[in-house]
Every structure is written in structure tokens, then in C-alpha cells.
Amino acid sequence: MANKQKQMLNNIAKRHGLSISQAEEIWTLLIDKIASTISDLDKKNDDGTYDLDKFKTINVQNFGKFIPHKRHILNANKWILKKKEDEI
């Protein structure tokens, strides 16, 4: 964990009366939940491309929203289809 993040966690822990290990555990659980939601396997179509409608906006209270970039998804789909065409 970066030094700046460590300082922020220390400040948050002090403000809320938590130990640094509790704050780190909460942070790890939060990040793991976001990562597992983002990396769900049900986002792919039958042709291997990604379905834009299956990407969820993740709202984390007091932290903000994680919104998927549709342009990045479309670009990934473009390269997946191009790779399939090149293989044929």
C-alpha cells in the first residue's frame, strides 16, 4: 500500500476510533468487493464480446461511484472481433 494511502487510512482510523489493522481490513474487503463485481464472468456474449448492459455501476457509500467506461468496453469488443477475424 502506498504511503499516501497509509496516511489516509491512519487519519480515517483515528477519526472513527478504529485500529489501523481494522481500517486496513475494511479497506481490503471494500476493494475485494469492487474487484469481484467488476470481474464477474457473466458479462460476455456468446461470440466472446462484452455486453454493455451487464456492467454495473458500483456505488460505495462515502467513497463515490465506479462507473464503467463504455468507450473502453467498445474498444475491447473491437479488438476481440478483429482477433477472431485474423484467426480465420
Q: Are residues 62 and 87 in the same domain?
A: yes
Q: What is the mean pLDDT of residues 3-9?
A: 86
Q: Do residues 33 and 64 share a domain?
A: no
- Whether residues 30 and 49 share a domain: the answer is no
31 lies in the same domain as 45: no
Q: Do 46 and 81 have their domain in common? A: yes
pLDDT at 1: 64
Q: Residue 87 has which C-alpha cell?
A: 484467426
Residue pointed to by grid coordinates 489516509:
8
The residue segments making up the domain with residue 75 are 41-88
What pTM value is reported for the model? 0.59
Strand partners for 58: 66
28-73: per-residue pLDDT in tens?
A: 988 888 888 877 778 888 888 888 888 888 888 777 888 889 999 9
First to last CA, the chain: 44
20/58 same-domain check: no
What is the SS3 string spanning 29-85?
HHHHHHHHHHCCHHHECCCCCECHHHCCCEEECCCEEECCCHHHHHHHHHHHHHHHH
Number of domains in the chain: 2
